[in-house]
Amino acid sequence: MTDAVVTFDLEVVAPIPSAVSIGFFDGVHRGHQQIIGQALAHARTHGLRSVVVTFDRHPLQIIRPERAPPLLMTSARRARTLAALGVDLVVVLTFDARLRELDAEAFIVQVLRSSLDARHLVVGENFRFGHRAAGDIALLEQVGARDGFTADGVPLLAVAGQPISSTRIRAALADGDVSTAAQLLGRPYVIDGEVIHGDHRGRGLGYATANLAFDPHCVIPAPGVYAGVLTLSDGRMLPAVTSIGTNPTFNGSRLRVESHALDFDEDLYGLDVSVDLRRYLRGQQRFPTVDALVAAMDADVAHAREALASQDPPPGGRIRGAEPGSAEAVH
């Protein structure tokens, strides 16, 4: 199975009979996956093209910027994640002033019918669209009865008695609860960023770190230390200890995401990497001495090895060096 074609230009898309799922899909969590999976199943059963329609930014960034939530992933990662779900096509619409003013029925006719030839639509039961969010599943069903397509509204998927939502995942991350976030997402939470120069203090302490320039529009979990995996652009997956915080021991003030890859010593400056967070180890602390800090970092590495060794191997194979007792590289 190959990943879907991703396009940001609706005009290049051929109008082929399609089953279409629509949404912003922030996080592409398990509830979103259910919606898209239902559209994909319908497409395969009825010989249709499977399409996901999403937007390049959260609509509130245009409508009410002060109320726009921090995002669970960059737009690039969201497009890649959607494309990997087995659909044929991902269309990323530019949510601008023109699209904002398009009324709901015009969106159906111009985007879904004329451009995509949608024969079946699948949305979350609470999905709203069009100018002033006037469109809903009832309108889709009403227009469909007139124009010859069908529509399904999918109930929200629940875990532990509560619906899965991007808001719920943000709340878990704000508490440092990456385990619950992963349960709701269906995979660990990921931070993307370019490795930039920091204070170069870590190498002198025996723990060189990759300092990430992260997207300011994305959620950064609660300050603390986490066990997880650093994935390089070439696909290598390295066990890592990631610190999120302001470096209070050194009187820092800027929020940083710094990841120490275990048993690894290569120059990563300027590379795009991702860090996933699998286990919360401890909160951010101010240590009285540098020696006390290093002792805590030693313990963090040992705890991270234990946590990661107990996890199932990720897609692509075992996390290199995650086993307890592996030799620790001193940088």
List, for residues 112-164, the tens digit of each pLDDT value: 999 999 999 999 999 999 988 899 999 999 999 999 999 999 999 999 999 99
Q: How far is CA 289 from the centre of its chain?
A: 37
**What is the reported pLDDT for 200?**
61
DSSP string of 286-317, one letter each residue: --SSHHHHHHHHHHHHHHHHHHHHTSPPPTTS
Residue 280 lies in a domain: yes
**What is the reported pLDDT for 329?**
28
CATH number of the domain bearing residue 293: 2.40.30.30
CATH number of the domain bearing residue 81: 3.40.50.620
Residue 172 lies in a domain: no
Q: Is the pLDDT of residue 169 over 80?
A: yes
List, for residues 268-306, the tens digit of each pLDDT value: 999 999 999 999 999 988 888 888 888 988 999 999 999
Residue 165 lies in a domain: no
One domain, residues 28 and 143:
yes
One domain, residues 78 and 193:
no
With pLDDT > 90 as the criterion, what percentage of the chain qualifies? 72
List, for residues 178-220, the tens digit of each pLDDT value: 999 999 999 999 999 999 987 666 665 667 889 999 999 999 9
Q: Does the CA dihedral 309-313-314-320 come out positive or negative?
A: positive
Average of per-residue pLDDT across 5-23: 94
Give the largest Cα separation in the chain, rounded: 73
**pLDDT class for 327, splitting at 50, 70, 90?**
very low
Helix (H) or strand (E) holding 104: helix 104-107
**pLDDT class for 16, splitting at 50, 70, 90?**
very high
One domain, residues 145 and 233:
no
Average of per-residue pLDDT across 241-249: 88
> What are the φ/ψ torsions at residue 162 (nearest 5 degrees)?
-130, 145
Residue 128 lies in a domain: yes
Q: Is the pLDDT of residue 82 over 70?
A: yes
One domain, residues 193 and 290:
yes
Residue 264 lies in a domain: yes
Cβ neighbours of residue 91 closer than 8 Å, sequence gap 6 or more? 7, 10, 13, 51, 52, 53, 54, 116
One domain, residues 111 and 207:
no
One domain, residues 146 and 230:
no
One domain, residues 200 and 133:
no
Encoded amino acid at 66, one letter = E
Provide the domain count of the chain: 2
One domain, residues 20 and 150:
yes
**What is the reported pLDDT for 209?**
86
Cβ(241)–Cβ(202) below 8 Å:
no
Residue 111 lies in a domain: yes
One domain, residues 57 and 121:
yes
SS3 track for 223-260: CEEEEEEEECCCCCEEEEEEEEECCHHHCCCCCEEEEE
One domain, residues 133 and 234:
no
List, for residues 27-68, the tens digit of each pLDDT value: 999 999 999 999 999 999 999 999 999 999 998 888 889 999
**What is the reported pLDDT for 132?**
87
One domain, residues 46 and 114:
yes
Residue ranges making up the domain that contains 268: 189-309
User: pTM here?
Assistant: 0.88
**pLDDT class for 2, splitting at 50, 70, 90?**
low
Residue 319 lies in a domain: no
Helix (H) or strand (E) holding 76: helix 75-83
